[in-house]
Amino acid sequence: MDRMSSEGNPLSYSVVVPFYNEQENVAQLYVKIIEVMDALGESYEIVFVDDGSKDGTFRLLSEIARDDDRVVVVRLRRNFGQTAALKAGFDHSQGETIISMDGDLQHDPAEIPRFVEKIQEGYDIVSGWRVERTDHWLARQLPSRVANWMMAKLSRVDLHDFGTTFKAYRREILSEIHLYGELHRFIPALASWAGASVAEVPITNIPRKNGKSNYGISRTIRVFLDLVSVKFLLDYSTRPLQLFGLAGLLCLAGGAGIGLWIFARKAMLNEGLLANHGPLILLGMALVMGGIQFIAIGLIGELLARTYYESQNKPVYTVRQFVGRGRTEAKAGRTEPPRAAGAAGR
């Protein structure tokens, strides 16, 4: 059952914050959030997620929740990672608009009204953009810029900063997305498949003052691997044969071309096959075998996709609104996005 405000109305906002060993930042962040949310003048809740912290984070969060009934604390059994922590927060939140942010005080709650304003304009997702980064250039900024450029090109969602957790979502958008791995940063790309409109607002990147960063170069590598996965999900999850079949046909064409060229040399010039073209023959055979395997993988993928979508009755499209036959039902609270994705806040 949905949580209600004291007036009996559905909650307007949920602020979701995952924590991992952030005991120095808990109290200060809580105070800043309630100051901003109280000023908005609408009902809200705060969902704090303790992602298996080993310090006093959970104790402090529990004390806050006991004193403030607007606060919900979700404690995970171990450290599952940021995506899982955010998913837990989303699942246990009840607000019509969900705002996520980090628990390390590098996101300023005073900027929440910017996100709310864009949501009220009709966007489905509002993403923060760290215009001026303050972290290490080589270890953090350079990999982030490369990754963001690749994500924007491959997903066709025009955002400058996919990596920040500081985002606002309409509830119905999150309900259609399954999160795992490091996919929380790809929510705008995954939601764009369903026709979600995305805006971007500039935010301040505040240097960390307390605690220790949980990010490293290994995380960047995992992000690149997830990027490949997301690209496949966005473009080929319902038609894998078009990806693997194309690779297979190219390999078959290459192998056949090599075979014809060697046959022509043998027929016209009477050249010895193994003596003059041994490695080339092996290459041609490898291309033909590889082509057959790629096509077989594509066909198996088609069968798996058909089984997945049919067995789970999973739709291959999403409907925004029904009009006609005596039925008018808005799915996302509006009919058209106000402008192109990612066009705002730049």
**11/97 Cα distance (integer angstroms):** 9
Residues in the chain: 346
Q: What is the CATH number of the domain that holds 77?
A: 3.90.550.10
Chain segment 241-284, per-residue pLDDT in tens: 888 888 999 999 999 998 888 888 877 877 766 656 678 888 98
Q: Assess whether 176 and 280 both reside in one domain.
A: no
Same domain, 75 and 165: yes
- Which of helix, strand or coil describes residue 55? coil
**Is residue 338 domain-resident?**
no
Instruction: Tell me what pLDDT residue 313 has.
Output: 63
One domain for residues 198 and 51: yes
pLDDT score of 61 more than 80: yes
pLDDT above 60 (res 216)? no
Same domain, 167 and 85: yes
Mean pLDDT of all residues in 155-180: 84
Same domain flag for 252 and 212 = no
Same domain, 147 and 259: no
Specify the pLDDT at position 16.
Answer: 96
- Domain membership of residue 285 (yes or no) is yes
**Residue ranges of E strands in the chain:** 13-19, 44-50, 71-75, 97-100, 125-130, 167-170, 198-203, 321-324, 327-330
Q: Which residues contact 48 (CB under 8 A, 6 or more apart)?
A: 17, 19, 26, 61, 64, 65, 71, 72, 73, 74, 89, 103
Residues 157 and 250 in one domain: no
Q: Is residue 326 part of a domain?
A: no
Its domain, for residue 280, covers: 240-311
State yes or no: pLDDT of 200 exceeds 80.
yes
pTM above 0.75, yes or no: no
In a domain, 339, yes or no: no
Residues 29 and 155 in one domain: yes
Task: Give domain status of residue 96, yes or no.
Answer: yes
CB-side exposure of 48: number of CA atoms within 13 Å?
33
100: left (phi over 0), alpha (psi -120 to 50) or beta: beta
Per residue in 135-162, pLDDT (tens digit) is 666 666 677 777 778 777 777 788 888 8
- 14, 47 contact by CB (below 8 A): yes
Q: Is there a contact between 196 and 186 (Cβ–Cβ < 8 Å)?
A: no
Mark whether 41 and 160 lie in a shared domain. yes
Res 339 pLDDT > 50: no
Evaluate whether residue 263 is within a structural domain: yes
Residue whose structure tokens are 């089984």: 307
